[in-house]
């Protein structure tokens, strides 16, 4: 309990960079701050992992699986899709679509047609378009094209789709186990490693910047300022991942915030020396 109380006290003092606490870090060993850092970062990692697990709960994943199976089951009985020597052919004289419905919201997954290319004149665009000799992926306004290749040969029929559905049902429990095990192991490790790397890099840049104004500044003290001064950015990144898990601008926003907070924390740490040097 004493250790928990000590960590909470440091957390409250460190949460907002302030002049009254940060100059004291100049007289505190880096090893003590490192012990605190890994304790509080492990706590943040647990919160982040928990928020992701709640976002992709077993019931949610089951709902996704059922939606995919229902969409695959709607594949036409007599439809045959044949890819031979890198060329797609179909016995249907119309495109084939796959929509996945979840929470009454449709998602246009893919479209199969014997045309060579799908242009942006088609609205809405599928995530994946299978044309006569290439596949196109549309994501966030960008198009990625992949040629089939002459060695690609495949036949898609109703029976093949039914075997895929059977495989999904059979392997889904194993998939859930591996998925959640990966979350529990990978997410905390990646969060701790990435946070540490960004803090070290930002602290080094701040050290170089302040070196011109504070000759007595030390790199390990900049790192110490980063350890204590980046709680708000780390809380923000957890909140952003919980609310917008697929947002592409989370990383640049987080890196920018960490750098700014380390800059402020280092300034607060050496504020008395800066004021003293100015008075001289």
| pLDDT(51) > 80 | yes
What is the reported pLDDT for 278? 47
Task: Tell which of 121, 156, 191 closes a domain.
Answer: 156
Q: What is the mean pLDDT of residues 272-276?
A: 56
pTM attached to this predicted model: 0.74
Q: What is the mean pLDDT of residues 21-49?
A: 89
In this structure, the answer to whether residues 116 and 193 fall within a common structural domain is no
In this structure, the answer to whether residues 218 and 184 fall within a common structural domain is yes
Residue 172 is assigned to a structural domain of this protein: no
Q: Which residue has the tokens 């199969």?
A: 112
Residue 87 is assigned to a structural domain of this protein: yes
What is the reported pLDDT for 17? 81
> Domain range for residue 202?
2-57+177-271
Give me the percent of the chain exceeding a pLDDT of 70.
Answer: 91
Residue 63 is assigned to a structural domain of this protein: no
In this structure, the answer to whether residues 90 and 142 fall within a common structural domain is yes
In this structure, the answer to whether residues 147 and 187 fall within a common structural domain is no
Rounded distance between C-alpha atoms, residue 150 and residue 7, angstroms: 63
In this structure, the answer to whether residues 131 and 207 fall within a common structural domain is no
Q: Are 205 and 255 in contact (CB under 8 A)?
A: no
Rounded distance between C-alpha atoms, residue 41 and residue 226, angstroms: 12
State the total domains in the chain: 2
Residue 50 is assigned to a structural domain of this protein: yes
In this structure, the answer to whether residues 184 and 263 fall within a common structural domain is yes
pLDDT band of residue 225 (cuts 50, 70, 90) is very high
């Amino acid at each position: 309990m004493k250790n928990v109380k000590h960590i909470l006290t440091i957390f409250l003092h460190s949460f907002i960079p302030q002049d009254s606490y940060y100059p004291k870090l100049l007289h505190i060993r880096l090893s003590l701050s490192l012990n605190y850092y890994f304790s509080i970062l492990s706590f943040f990692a647990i919160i982040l992992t928990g928020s992701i697990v709640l976002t992709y709960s077993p019931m949610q994943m089951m709902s996704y699986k059922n939606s995919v199976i229902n969409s695959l089951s709607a594949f036409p009985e007599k439809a045959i899709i044949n890819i031979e020597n890198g060329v797609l052919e179909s016995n249907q004289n119309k495109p084939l679509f796959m929509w996945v419905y979840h929470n009454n919201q449709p998602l246009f997954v893919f479209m199969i047609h014997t045309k060579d290319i799908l242009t942006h004149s088609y609205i809405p665009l599928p995530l994946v378009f299978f044309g006569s000799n290439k596949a196109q992926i549309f994501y966030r306004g960008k198009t990625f094209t992949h040629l089939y290749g002459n060695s690609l040969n495949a036949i898609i029929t109703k029976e093949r789709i039914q075997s895929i559905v059977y495989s999904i049902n059979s392997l889904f429990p194993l998939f859930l186990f591996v998925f959640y095990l990966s979350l529990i192991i990978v997410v905390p490790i990646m969060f701790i490693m990435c946070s540490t790397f960004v803090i070290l890099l930002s602290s080094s840049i701040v050290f170089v910047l302040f070196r011109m104004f504070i000759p007595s500044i030390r790199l390990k003290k900049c790192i110490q300022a980063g350890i204590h001064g980046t709680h708000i950015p780390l809380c923000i990144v957890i909140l952003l991942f919980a609310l917008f898990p697929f947002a592409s601008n989370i990383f640049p926003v987080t890196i920018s915030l960490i750098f700014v907070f380390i800059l402020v924390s280092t300034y607060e740490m050496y504020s008395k020396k800066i004021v003293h040097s100015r008075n001289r």
